[in-house]
Amino acid sequence: MPDFLDSLMEFHPAAGRADGLQHLVLFPMYTQNGNLDRNFEAVVLRMVWPEWLSELERTRYDNPGFCGITFEDFTAGYDTNSAVLFPETVAVREVPERFTWGGIFCDREAARFRKVTEAAVDTLGVKLPEDIAVMLGDQKRCEQAFALWDLVHDRAHSRGDLPFDPFMIKQRQPFWMYGLEELRCDLTAFKEAVKLEAEGNGHGRDVQYAVLFDRMFRFPLTGDRNRNYDGLGGQLLFAYLHKNDVVRWTDNILTIDWDRAPEVTNRLCAEIETLYREGIDRPKLVHWFKAYEFVSAYLAPHPGSKWAKGPDALDLSLPPRKLVDDVLPDEFPLSMFFEALAKKLKGVIADTKGITAADVPSTERAAA
């Protein structure tokens, strides 16, 4: 068993964040896509830390362990959908008391976002505001939006009225709890982006539409349907906006009320925050059921679900973690809208495996 604990403890990329600084990382690690083997992987990366982002982190969104990064090159283990470099994946003899950094490849996230969003917009006939259309053509602009989104998302896991360990490390919970947590953090980033835009920061508007489009178009359709918590969060956001008439699917065209989108999306964030705050006073199992009721108000459960039938359908003499076995792999199936969209976009989504910025260069229009 390889042991790289000593090397890992010497590597502190967050301690010297400088825009454009390069690192070569060579560790035996798990990668993020279900690979249970230990493989030596090498990644050459470049830090993304522009002055404006550094200033926001220093004055407003303190997150000393966050590293925005881009790929320069990588070995086969990163020719995947993985967009993170985490110290937790490295082979070590013992788990350190704390990790001091975490890296997000904002170039891969931006490239996936652009490719899938452009295909979805074309397929659904969405009419984009001019500035958002230009944004989709600009890789660097999208990378910076994702760096800001991820900075705020990452710190949101440990902030707010939290009824449980927000990362849910070593806890066994129904996957809709993970889905709500990831969505809460994304919507926290959205909420902050609305504030930034109101203050004149143009990156704020970019983050809002990165969150909306990535969550609505890519997340529900990416990966399999086995307890796909990110997919669930995307389905929930779309359904909430649809039921509140922000998005409409009429005459085979998706229309979006751009003026109401920020207000209604922030309302969903507030409802999830209320669910969390009230959960502080609830037993764990009751909180799980309340969260299920919340999701079920917008997404139809599988007709064969025991959880959908309520507590009487479950053996409540078992500890809560055992009741997770009664959760169906696809507890909240895709709607007819997303089933149809999945058929249209499956090839595009498959093509985003291993994608980098070089695969989706900026358009001439954006450069102009």
Report how far apart, in Å, the C-alpha atoms of 17 and of each of 23, 52, 68, 149 are.
11, 13, 9, 17
Range of weakest confidence among 26-30, 199-203, 342-346 = 26-30
User: In the prediction, which pLDDT does 166 show?
Assistant: 57
Provide the pairing of β-strand 66-74 with 102-105: parallel
Label residue 167 by pLDDT band (50, 70, 90).
low
Separation of alpha carbons 30 and 44, rounded Å:
17
Separation of alpha carbons 163 and 153, rounded Å:
18
106-128 tens-digit pLDDT: 999 999 999 999 999 999 999 99
Which 3 state secondary structure label does DSSP give 203?
Answer: helix
| 104: its two tokens | 């997000």
Separation of alpha carbons 221 and 348, rounded Å:
11
> Residue 254: which H helix or E strand, with range?
strand 253-256
Which region, left, alpha or beta, applies to residue 28 given φ > 0 means left and ψ of -120 to 50 means alpha? beta
Q: Which residues contact 293 (CB under 8 A, 6 or more apart)?
A: none
* pLDDT over 60 at 316, yes or no: yes
54-98 tens-digit pLDDT: 999 999 999 999 999 999 999 988 898 889 999 988 888 998 988
* pLDDT over 80 at 171, yes or no: no
**Domain ranges within the chain, ordered by starting residue:** 5-106, 109-361
Backbone angles phi, psi at 158, to 5 degrees: -115, 20
pTM of the complete model: 0.94
* pLDDT over 80 at 37, yes or no: no
Range of weakest confidence among 53-62, 218-227, 253-262, 357-366 = 357-366
Among 2-16, 36-50, 189-203, which range has the highest average pLDDT?
189-203
Q: Considering only CA atoms, which of 247, 275, 250 is closest in space to residue 177?
A: 275
* pLDDT over 70 at 164, yes or no: no
User: In the prediction, which pLDDT does 38 show?
Assistant: 73
Which amino acid appears at position 161 of this protein? D
Separation of alpha carbons 181 and 229, rounded Å:
9
User: In the prediction, which pLDDT does 29 show?
Assistant: 72
Q: Hey, which bits of 57-107 come out as E strands?
A: 66-74, 84-85, 102-105
Separation of alpha carbons 157 and 275, rounded Å:
15
Label residue 367 by pLDDT band (50, 70, 90).
very low
